[in-house]
Amino acid sequence: MFLSTFEKQLDSKRRIVVPQEFRAAVSGPFDGVFCFPSIEADCLEGGGKALFDRYNGVIEELDFGDPLRTALETSILGGMAKLSFDTAGRITLPETLCEMFGLSDWVTVVGLGDRFQIWERGAFNAYRAAQRDAARQGLAQLRAQQRAARLGGAA
């Protein structure tokens, strides 16, 4: 599992040291990660072969020619880079992906369970604040629904 948040500096060759915990999470026949533009946010998304297989499984469930399948193939498979670890545990991010999200100096690497994201540091700070607000509001709504269900069930 990919857990926690790390700030890392890209070097002049766009290399980033992948946290040891993340490297351990993807250990297997391919010593590296898959990265592509995230569908849900303005950042890179990455993970190991299990994440690739999960997305590929979703795509394969859709009929050939289905517009959603085409959109997912283009966005995920067409944007994917297979990045191997070097001896220091670094990956080199493709220039096009760095330019797409303004990744040039400090980045934030965020673990999300079965995947991780790589953000421009300032963009992630704003996104994290918005997500905390959404989580608070969503949790308050969920608790209100649970209370209402308990009270309705007791009547």
Beta partners for 137? none
Average pLDDT, the chain: 93
Give the 3-state secondary structure of residue 110. Answer: strand
Q: What average pLDDT does the segment 87-102 reach?
A: 95
pLDDT reported for residue 25 = 86
106 Cα distance to chain centroid: 17
What's this model's pTM, rounded to 2 decimal places? 0.87
Q: What average pLDDT does the segment 23-43 reach?
A: 88
Q: Tens digits of per-residue pLDDT, 109-131?
A: 999 999 999 999 999 999 999 99
Beta partners for 32? 84
Close Cβ partners of 115 (under 8 Å, ≥ 6 residues apart): 2, 45, 46, 47, 51
Give a yes or no: residue 106 inside a domain: yes
Give a yes or no: residue 40 inside a domain: yes
Structure tokens at 102: 């303004």
Give a yes or no: residue 78 inside a domain: yes
Rounded Cα distance between 73 and 17, Å, is 28
Q: What average pLDDT does the segment 24-45 reach?
A: 89
Give a yes or no: residue 31 inside a domain: yes
Q: What average pLDDT does the segment 138-148 reach?
A: 94
pLDDT reported for residue 154 = 62
How many CA atoms does the CB half-sphere of 70 hold within 13 Å? 4
Q: Which domain holds residue 41?
A: 5-121
Cβ atoms of 123 and 102 within 8 Å: the answer is yes
Q: What is the CATH number of the domain that holds 94?
A: 3.40.1550.20
Give a yes or no: residue 63 inside a domain: yes
CA of 145: how far to CAs of 142, 151, 152, in Å?
A: 5, 10, 10
Domain tally, the chain? 1
